Every structure is written in C-alpha cells, then in structure tokens.
Amino acid sequence: MVASKQTVLVCWIGGNDLKAVAGGELGPILSTLRTAAFDAVELLCSYPTERVDPFLAWLGDQVDVPVNAHYEHLSSPVHFGEIYQAAYRHLQRLTEAGVHLSILLSPGTPAMQAVWILLGKTRYPAAFYQSSLEQGVQQVDIPFEIAVEYVPAANAISSIRLAKLADQEVPVDAAFDSIIAQSERMLALKAQAHILAEKRVPVLIYGETGTGKELFARAIHNAGPRAAGPFITVNCGAIPPELVDSVLFGHKKGAFTGAVADRAGVFQQAHGGTLFLDEFGELKPDVQVRLLRVLQEGTFTPVGGSQEQAVDVRLITATHRNLMVEVALGHFREDLFYRVAVGVLHLPPLREREGDLLLLADTLLAGIGSQDVSLKHKKISSEAKNLILRHSWRGNVRELQATLLRAALWCQGELITKADIDQALFKVPQQDADVMSMDVSQGIDIQEIISRVATHYVRGALAVTGQNKTRAAALLGLKSQQTLSNWIEKYGIE
C-alpha cells in the first residue's frame, strides 16, 4: 500500500508512451516524471501485456520512483462505462490510502481524459497535469467546478447493471398480469388473447413499434398448452436476404460457403413450442411461398438437405404493417395472410389507450427501481406527469420506458421533475410533429395542417400504386378517382 501523504501520479498508458521504448520522444509519462516530483506512479493499461511489459521495464530503468501497473480489460478504449469503473476503483483505493492525487491527462483516449476530469473534480480531488511536444509538461487549472450533489444516480450504477437496465428485454415468464392496463380497449384485448392462448390457432399481432407485441406473444405462449416447450423469437426484418432460408429452416454442412456444420433453423428449434416471427411483414414474396408450404404441410427441407423433416410449432406473428393493404397492393400473399391471421390482435398506440399512460409510467418506474437500489425511491412530480400526458409517444411503451430510465438516472434527488422528463425526451422537429399533439393554445393553422396531411398521404398512395389514381383513391378511402383529382387540385399537389 502506498504510504500516507505521498504524492502519486496516476494515468493511463498511451500509444506515444509505448513508442518511446524504441527511442526518439520520451512520451508523456516519462516527460512528466522528469519534470515534476512524485513519490510513486500508478499506471492503468489496456494494451496487451506483450506491448506493455517492455515499456514498464524500460520506464523502471529511467526513473527512481516505484512504478505500479494495473491491467484493465476494456471492450473498447472509448467505452465510458468500463473506463469509469476502472478509474473510480483505483482513485478510491489511493484516496483511502491517504495519498495526494495527481492525474496526468495526456495519455489515452478522449473518453479516458473526460472520466479523469469528472472524477478529479467531484469524488477524488486531484491536481491535473498535461504533457505535449509544443507546451511541455504543465500543471493545469481546470476552470470550473462540478458540484458533488449533482453527480446523478447513474454514477453509482455499474456498467453491467446499466446495460441491463437499458436492455428492456421481455421477461421469459411474462404473463397477462405483466400487461399493465385499465383502458377498456386493452382489457378486452387481454381477454381475447387469453382465450387464444388456450387454442392452437396461429395468431397475428399488429400495431405500431413499441406497443408490446412480443409481450403479448410471450404471455400467449406461457398461458397455453405449450408453455413447457420452447419459445423461439426471430426478427424477420433483421435477417440478411441470403440467409433467410438458413435461419428459418436450417442448413446442412457444406450447403454454402461458411456452412461448416449442420445447423438447426428456428422451426426445428421451436418444435413442440411456439415460434414468434416478429416484423413478419418484411418477408419477401419468395420466402412467403416457402413459409406457406411449411404451414400447410408441417414439413420443411434444410438448405442443402434432401430429406423433409416434420415440425410441430405454434406460430405467432407480429408486424407494424397493415397486411391487408400489403395484400391489396400485391406485396404480400393473400393465402399466407389468411393462414397466419386466424386469431388477430390489434394493439393500439399508447396515445389511444385512455387512462393507461400514467398507470404505465408509475409501474414502469417502479420496475426500474426494483432493479437497482439507487433508483428505488424515484417518483414523478405532478408537472412531469402533465408533460407525459401531453407527449405523443411515437415509440409507445418502449419510448416511455426509455424516457423514464434516462430521467431516473440523471435527475437530482428522488423527485423526477418536468425538466428531467423534458431533457430525457427525444423531440421531433415541429414540422414533422404529430398533428394530434400540437399546442392549440399557442394558435395553429388548421388549413395548413390539413393541406400538409393530405399532400403527404396522396403522394404516398400515388407512389405505391404507380400513379394509378383509381387504386390510390381506394387506398385513401375516397369514393372515386374524381374525388382524388379534386383533392390534388385543391391542395396543389404535384
């Protein structure tokens, strides 16, 4: 342990320090040690030992003070969370030993320098040094203060815990009780889903992003007769086109370059349980054909295989697209649609769930608090709740969860204020904002809003129909092509 009252220099080992071994420039660490007096040096290093060890031996020959090195594994030299944990741990250790801290800022990445400043100005007061070829070695004054009281809850949470808080995965034991709602529409949907869970029919869940489609899917699986079987989920929109067949149906060794072993597809993995195909509407027509065959016959052939395999799965699909419109446009197979849409659940956006918003906010915040003691007692102020009620929540429950987490992590004290929520929100530029959430008390131009909405959707309908006005009018719910032409003329749509 370092003796009391010693002055200790702390820093990361940088690339220029490692280069100094070969001759030429001294590097920031040796330059500082030759300019200012220190009793010991504590070095943090994330480089491989085969690069660091020669430097440490060389440095030990150049100075007459103890040099202590600490290897820290970082997944990235700019990972703030990992850098923070490493720096925090060593500064705490040295402070408890009663030393005077000096921190050399120059070596390392900007992320490392930022963390040094944060800790050295709040938790562990230190003198700061920097070294450069142009200015030499200087003790620097950082001309601002950061109040310790401002250091937020995020400061006390480990990187691993913070990552888990932000992950927001649907729990594997999700049940219908996990779906928080009191609006009549959502309660009716939960009742319908509960009935569907006991059946063996395919279920199609559609709704906007973040409305809870996977939560419903897991609840249906867990409440059904296949609860003991696997629940396999795959995001169809995230599969590279060239790997779709392999992901869905598996492949045999040697089927293509890189197929070094047999691999089971998600259908085989879900045998005896439930297969949840998220973003189902993203599947291309050729894949839809092969998927339909599996659903009709209960068999599939792995890529590169010659023998059919039987499979028994319950299929639950989800999409944010209106598949009826996709069918009408010829983008989605009608026979596949009716095969998967036996049980259909339409999840409403959060803005249409009357009475659910504040209930959800309180429940989600309590859930966040249960995962970490530093967030346990957070509450939402009345003004903050009013702001939550006025927001459009385009990302729905997922956006609400993320906003509350950000606000809880960075707010001062236990009460989340209106300013905390406002800072945590991602704001849409006014010209693109939800027309249903504009502040009428500040005055609006309703004719301009109607014109903007009409222009947007008329152009969209014409684009997807190849400028066919008859089909575009049908998509827009207009009575005839002439009505559409009148709109085009009225709003000056090119």
Residues 441-463 have a mean pLDDT of 80
Write out pLDDT tens, residues 381-437: 999 998 898 888 888 999 999 999 999 988 888 899 999 999 998 765 555 556 666
Residues 240-264 have a mean pLDDT of 86
Residues 131-144 have a mean pLDDT of 84
Residue 459 neighbours by CB under 8 Å, 6+ apart? 493
Q: What is the pLDDT of residue 149?
A: 44
User: Which uninterrupted H or E stretch holds 206?
Assistant: strand 203-206
Q: What is the pLDDT of residue 66?
A: 93
pTM over 0.75: no
Query: Model confidence at 205, in pLDDT bands (50, 70, 90)?
Result: very high
Q: What is the pLDDT of residue 148?
A: 46
* Residue 344 near residue 322, CB atoms below 8 Å: no
Output 23 or 167, whichever has higher pLDDT: 23
CA 191 – CA 183 distance, rounded (Å): 12
Q: What is the pLDDT of residue 1?
A: 44
**Which of 3-7, 288-292, 298-302 shows the lowest mean pLDDT across its residues?**
3-7
Q: Closest by alpha carbon to 20, among 58, 57, 46?
A: 58
Q: State CA 423 to chain mean position distance.
A: 18
Angle at 115 between CA 114 and CA 120, to 5 degrees: 105
Cα dihedral 461/463/464/467 (nearest 10): 90
CA 202 – CA 197 distance, rounded (Å): 10
Residues 185-201 have a mean pLDDT of 92
Whether 217 shows a pLDDT value over 60: the answer reads yes
**Which of 133-137, 191-195, 214-218, 443-447 shows the lowest mean pLDDT across its residues?**
443-447
Write out pLDDT tens, residues 128-137: 999 988 888 8
What does the DSSP 8-state code read for residue 352? G
Q: What is the pLDDT of residue 153?
A: 59
CA 312 – CA 294 distance, rounded (Å): 10
Whether 441 shows a pLDDT value over 80: the answer reads no
Q: Which residue has the tokens 């906010």?
A: 361
Q: Encode 98-152 in three state secondary structure.
A: CCEEEEECCCCCHHHHHHHHHHHHCCCCCEEEEEECCCEEEEECCCCCCCHHHCC
Residue 402 neighbours by CB under 8 Å, 6+ apart? 166, 168, 395
Residues 152-161 have a mean pLDDT of 59
Output 215 or 79, whichever has higher pLDDT: 215
**Which of 63-67, 119-123, 475-479 shows the lowest mean pLDDT across its residues?**
119-123
Q: Phi-psi region for residue 194, left (φ > 0), alpha (ψ -120 to 50) or beta?
A: alpha
Output 463 or 355, whichever has higher pLDDT: 355
Q: What is the pLDDT of residue 43?
A: 95
Burial of 246 (0-12, 13-18, 19+ CB in 10 A): buried
Residues 363-384 have a mean pLDDT of 88
Establish how many alpha carbons lie within 13 A of residue 69's alpha carbon, considering only the half-sphere containing its beta carbon.
18
Q: Closest by alpha carbon to 347, among 206, 448, 225?
A: 206
Burial of 123 (0-12, 13-18, 19+ CB in 10 A): middle
Residue 387 neighbours by CB under 8 Å, 6+ apart? 418, 421, 422
Work out the percent of the chain whose per-residue pLDDT is above 90: 43
Judged by DSSP in three states, 33 sits in helix
Q: What is the DSSP string of 230-258?
A: -EEEEEGGGS-GGGHHHHHH-B-TTSSTT
Q: What is the pLDDT of residue 434?
A: 63
Whether 159 shows a pLDDT value over 70: the answer reads no
Output 59 or 428, whichever has higher pLDDT: 59
Q: What is the pLDDT of residue 428?
A: 57
Q: Phi-psi region for residue 451, left (φ > 0), alpha (ψ -120 to 50) or beta?
A: alpha
Q: Closest by alpha carbon to 245, among 291, 292, 186?
A: 291
Q: What is the pLDDT of residue 491?
A: 81
* Residue 41 near residue 65, CB atoms below 8 Å: yes
